[in-house]
Structure 1
Amino acid sequence: MKFNVLFVGSKFSNNTYLKDYILREINKKISHIDSMTFYLENDNSLFLHLERELSVDTKLLIITTKQNFSVVGKLLCTVTADNQILKENMLLPSQCTVFEDQTYLLNYNNSVINVLHVDELTEFPRLLLEDENSSATIHLFGEDKESAKALISPIAQTNEVKIDITDIVEGWLRIDVTSRKYGNITQFISSTKQLLSTKIIAASNIPAYIIEKMHYAQRKLTFSESCTGGLLAYMFTKESGASNMFDGSLVTYSNALKENWLAVEHATLEKHGAVSEQVVREMSDGALNVSYANYAVAISGVAGPTGGTEEKPVGTVYISVRSRDNEQTQKLSLYGDRRYIQEQSALYAIKMLLEIDKKLFFTN
């Protein structure tokens, strides 16, 4: 049965922070969303959309505003030949089976509909729909998509699970695993890890996984960022428990602060420029020394849309990852807008961090 999400109200398309918050709450209970649709208030085509949704077996989650909550209920009553009644100071379809403040559940034929209203600065109501599919997410490093399919598709068939492989950045694949009727996800993951022991991480959230691993090993991590402007630090500090392994980092956007805060040599900046292998290596070394951390990651690049040159076009990024006894530097040539280049840079840096200490990150 498909799981579809329908947003009714202009605020959900205009306020991306609210929309992202709602999706995070949904993802706590629902592993996979098949479709997501947005409608403005008073859109006459909404009724036809609801008719189509309820003509097939579906799980439909409708997110609406307080003002449109009863309007959506009225439309559902028209589609299902029902009428609204007052329950607990809410106008609800009379056939709704479960209801709480701001949320109710309605069964119609073989479809299940959960309507809830969400507004800014309010607590998210309880999600009444349940996810029946058994699923998991793992991450594979150091393989391309085609080789990954060839390696793990036979294991998936043996264990009757469906796999969906997505590129995160080059050399980093996300694999979403869904159980078929008699599928065994646990055995699939176990067999895959046996085959690719130094390349598989069986966790859905990689920054949270790194936090847990470093906390257990009593290790510390720091960053020195230029073109990503603190994005890498945000990816970790948004996760609970980050303070156990992250004391802080430096955003050194100007050359002056690269020199003063990270001890990057003035001569290195003059000779090679801020976007260079030499500078990014000195940035990671400086971050490691000033923080007393066990690992440091440094990023410097041209995120665009301006600032590129023939020698260093937009998308040129250098990353240095350093531990106390090892250092690796990578030059990237990335494509996309400014934000996507920054995001790819941060994700690639995370991949490099994992690979610099495989003994820590790829063992149970």
Structure 2
Amino acid sequence: MRSIILIIGEDIRANTSFLNYIFKEYVKNYKELDDLKFIDKNNKNLSDIFDKLSRDYENIFVFASNETYHLVARVLATLTNDVLKLEKDNQTLAPSLSKKMERDSFLINYKDININVLKVEALQKLPKFLISPTKDSLYFYIFGYEISMIKNNLEDLLSKFEVELDIAQYSNYIIRAKATKNKFGDLSGFTKSICRLFNEQIIKNDCIFEFAVKNLRKIGAKISIAESLTGGLIASKICEIDGASEVFGGSLVTYSNEIKNIWLGVSEDILNTYGAVSKQCLEAMLDGTLEKSGASFAIAASGIAGPSGGSKELPVGTVFIGIKSSDGKKIIREYHLDGDRNYIREESANIAISMLIEFCANLFFFL
């Protein structure tokens, strides 16, 4: 079922952090965003817009500001030959024939599609989503297999259970997959079969950071981090997960060479000889993190996010990421990433958690 988000009002569009909050909450409920459209608050053609979108989508989510909410509600009431009514229990103005209603949120049916209108305000919690999530799709990750191998091994299962599969490379060792059942498909049977086929190396969580935190809790392990180019981003992504405090000790953002030396004990000899973006520096960062925190595992990341700072020997996008355990085992890898500064940082954080899962595979997948 295709869905679209409509953002009505410049005050919402201009607030990037609030927009990200809306998108994250939407994805948490509905897994992925199909389409997005911004509409000016002074647009005089809202009726035509809703009419056109009703031919292309099954679900429309409208996020309206305090300034535009009443206008949207009035337009939809007119389209459905209804009137607006103030619901006394939740103080929400909405079409009287709304299918569902919560405070600052209502759901109507228009031409056999669902329209959920939410009145939103920055610095406030979002109202409740009122369209029930579909159970026609399943999102998961597969660890340790190549895309070509997955496609070949799943061909018969897809036909047997009448399921379509979209897969993408998430990191070196992790594939992200979306399984969608056809009209008479069996998603449950397909899931059980792929778990057996891939030796339980299926990450059923929607988020691999959540998977990592959950399994670190299961084995009673702690993790700490030293970050340079990611500037605390890895720690931030871990802290988004409920229960992170049980496994996450802390993170040192050691951006400058001086702080790497003072806080982590990276020697001036290493920094002067090999530089901050090097395997030798990464190993020292890992050692310093374990020593300072007493954690079971350490993650470290250092690199050049750009757009400046690169050289012929170390171009922009060069990143070193490492994992080390308290028993001395470690992996350190060099990556060369393309993209802008923020993409390189985001991808570095995703690679770091993927490497942790790889490093702990025997503990996470074969408990």
TM-score (norm 1): 0.92
User: Which of residues 153, 172, 180 in structure 1 aligns to 2:182?
Assistant: 180
Instruction: State which drifts further: 261-270 or 153-162.
Output: 153-162
Aligned to 2:147: 145
For the residues of structure 1 that align with 2:47 and 2:168, how far apart are their CA atoms?
A: 35
Which AA in structure 1 matches 2:67?
A: Q
Q: Is the 8 A contact 1:3 1:32 kept in 2?
A: no
Using the TM superposition, give the Cα deviation of residue 149 of structure 1 relative to its aligned residue in structure 2, in angstroms: 2.5
User: Which of residues 334, 345, 350 in structure 2 aligns to 1:331?
Assistant: 334
Aligned to 1:25: 25
| 1:353 aligned onto 2:336 | no
Which AA in structure 1 matches 2:233?
A: L
For the residues of structure 2 that align with 1:57 and 1:37, how far apart are their CA atoms?
A: 13
For the residues of structure 2 that align with 1:100 and 1:290, how far apart are their CA atoms?
A: 49
Q: Is the 8 A contact 2:301 2:320 kept in 1?
A: yes
| 1:132 aligned onto 2:109 | no
Alpha carbons of structure 1 residues 150 and 94: separation in structure 2 relative to 1, 3 Å? same
Using the TM superposition, give the Cα deviation of residue 30 of structure 1 relative to its aligned residue in structure 2, in angstroms: 2.3
For the residues of structure 1 that align with 2:103 and 2:251, how far apart are their CA atoms?
A: 43
Using the TM superposition, give the Cα deviation of residue 71 of structure 1 relative to its aligned residue in structure 2, in angstroms: 0.7
Using the TM superposition, give the Cα deviation of residue 230 of structure 1 relative to its aligned residue in structure 2, in angstroms: 0.9
After TM superposition, list the pairs within 5 Å mapping 1:223-238 onto structure 2: 223-238=225-240
Using the TM superposition, give the Cα deviation of residue 327 of structure 1 relative to its aligned residue in structure 2, in angstroms: 0.9
Alpha carbons of structure 1 residues 278 and 65: separation in structure 2 relative to 1, 3 Å? same
Which AA in structure 1 matches 2:101?
A: F
| 1:294 aligned onto 2:291 | no
Aligned to 2:40: 40
Alpha carbons of structure 1 residues 166 and 47: separation in structure 2 relative to 1, 3 Å? farther
Partner SS for 2:249 = coil
User: Which of residues 233, 255, 259 in structure 2 aligns to 1:253?
Assistant: 255
Q: Is the 8 A contact 2:12 2:65 kept in 1?
A: no
For the residues of structure 1 that align with 2:99 and 2:196, how far apart are their CA atoms?
A: 46
Q: Which runs of 5+ in 2 are unaligned?
A: none
Using the TM superposition, give the Cα deviation of residue 86 of structure 1 relative to its aligned residue in structure 2, in angstroms: 4.7
Using the TM superposition, give the Cα deviation of residue 284 of structure 1 relative to its aligned residue in structure 2, in angstroms: 0.9
Q: Is the 8 A contact 1:318 1:331 kept in 2?
A: yes
| 1:75 aligned onto 2:69 | no
Which AA in structure 1 matches 2:151?
A: K
Q: Is the 8 A contact 2:231 2:253 kept in 1?
A: yes
> What do residues 330-363 of structure 1 show as CA deviations (whole Å, max 9, x unaligned)?
1100011111101111111111111112111223
For the residues of structure 1 that align with 2:310 and 2:200, how far apart are their CA atoms?
A: 37
TM-score (norm 2): 0.92
Alpha carbons of structure 1 residues 259 and 166: separation in structure 2 relative to 1, 3 Å? same
Aligned to 2:62: 62
- Equivalences, count: 364
For the residues of structure 1 that align with 2:329 and 2:35, how far apart are their CA atoms?
A: 45
Q: Which runs of 5+ in 1 are unaligned?
A: none
Identity of aligned residues (%): 34
Q: Is the 8 A contact 2:266 2:281 kept in 1?
A: yes
Using the TM superposition, give the Cα deviation of residue 318 of structure 1 relative to its aligned residue in structure 2, in angstroms: 0.7
Partner SS for 1:136 = strand
Q: Is the 8 A contact 1:3 1:58 kept in 2?
A: yes
Aligned to 1:343: 346
Alpha carbons of structure 1 residues 196 and 247: separation in structure 2 relative to 1, 3 Å? same
Q: Is the 8 A contact 1:277 1:318 kept in 2?
A: yes
For the residues of structure 2 that align with 1:11 and 1:150, how far apart are their CA atoms?
A: 49
Which AA in structure 2 matches 1:361?
A: F
